[in-house]
Amino acid sequence: MAGGVRPLRGLRALCRVLLFLSQFCILSGGEQSQALAQSIKDPGPTRTFTVVPRAAESTEIPPYVMKCPSNGLCSRLPADCIDCTTNFSCIYGKPVTFDCAVKPSVTCVDQDFKSQKNFIINMTCRFCWQLPETDYECTNSTSCMTVSCPRQRYPANCTVRDHVHCLGNRTFPKMLYCNWTGGYKWSTALALSLQVQVGVHVQLTVGLP
C-alpha cells in the first residue's frame, strides 16, 4: 500500500509543477501581448525626414564672356578673358613673356587652330598708367576751361584698351589738360581761332594802299 501511495504523490507534485508553469506562461504571454498591442496603438514619437532638393547646377554665363571672341587666337584675347602670372620685377621698357590661362567658359585656339588653355603672351614691362595715350581711354570734362594761364588740368579716370596688356590696375586716375573752351573742344577752338586770325590778317593786308 505504501509503495502505491508514493508514486501517486510524485504524480500530484508533477501535476502541480506543470500547472504552475502553464499559468506562468499564460501570464507572461498576456503581458507581452498587451505590450505589443500598446506599442501598435501608441507608436511613440515619430521621426520626420525632410527631403532637400538638390540644387540645380548654375548655368549663368560669366559677364566677361561677352568680351571674349569664341575660337579666336588665345594670344589676342582681351585681358578680361585670361589670368596671367605676372612678374613685377621685370626691367621697365624691356620685352617680357608671361604664362597665361583662359578663364572658365572661354574657348580659344593656337596658331594651328587647335584648342588651347595655357599659352604665353609677349608684352613690354610697364605699368598700365605708363602706357602711351593711344593705349587707353579717359573720361572728358566739359566744365573746366582751357582759357587760363597756366593751362588747367582735371582729374580723369582712364581705362586700358581691351587688347593691350600691362602690369597693375587697368583702370587708373590721371590729371589731364582741360580740352574744352566755351562748349567747344580745345582742338576745334584752336582751329577756329587760327582761321579767324588768318582772315583778319588777309583783310588788313588787302586794305593797305
pLDDT tens readout for residues 159-186 = 999 889 999 999 999 998 887 554 455 4
Rounded to 5 degrees, φ, ψ at 182 are 60, 30
Q: What is the pLDDT of residue 196?
A: 46
Which percentage of the chain shows pLDDT scores above 90?
Answer: 31
> Which residues lie closer than 8 Å to 184 by C-beta, 6 or more apart?
192
Task: Sort strands 82-85 and 115-116 into parallel, antiparallel or unpaired.
Answer: unpaired
pLDDT of 202 higher than 70: no
| Least confident residue range of 13-17, 39-43, 165-169, 187-191 | 39-43
Residues 31-73 pLDDT 10s:
555 555 555 555 556 666 565 556 555 578 888 888 888 888 9
| Alpha carbon distances (Å) from 179 to 125, 145, 152, 155, 174 | 30, 7, 9, 12, 14
pTM: 0.53
* Residue 65 C-alpha from the chain's centroid: 12
- By CB neighbour count within 10 A (0-12 exposed, 13-18 middle, 19+ buried), where does 101 fall? middle
Residues 123-144 pLDDT 10s:
999 999 999 999 999 998 877 7
| Cα gap 84→98, rounded to integer Å | 6
| Cα gap 45→51, rounded to integer Å | 19
| Cα gap 127→164, rounded to integer Å | 11
Q: Sorting pLDDT into bands at 50, 70 and 90, what band is 109?
A: very high
| Cα gap 22→14, rounded to integer Å | 12
> Which residues lie closer than 8 Å to 196 by C-beta, 6 or more apart?
none
Greater confidence, 47 or 107? Answer: 107
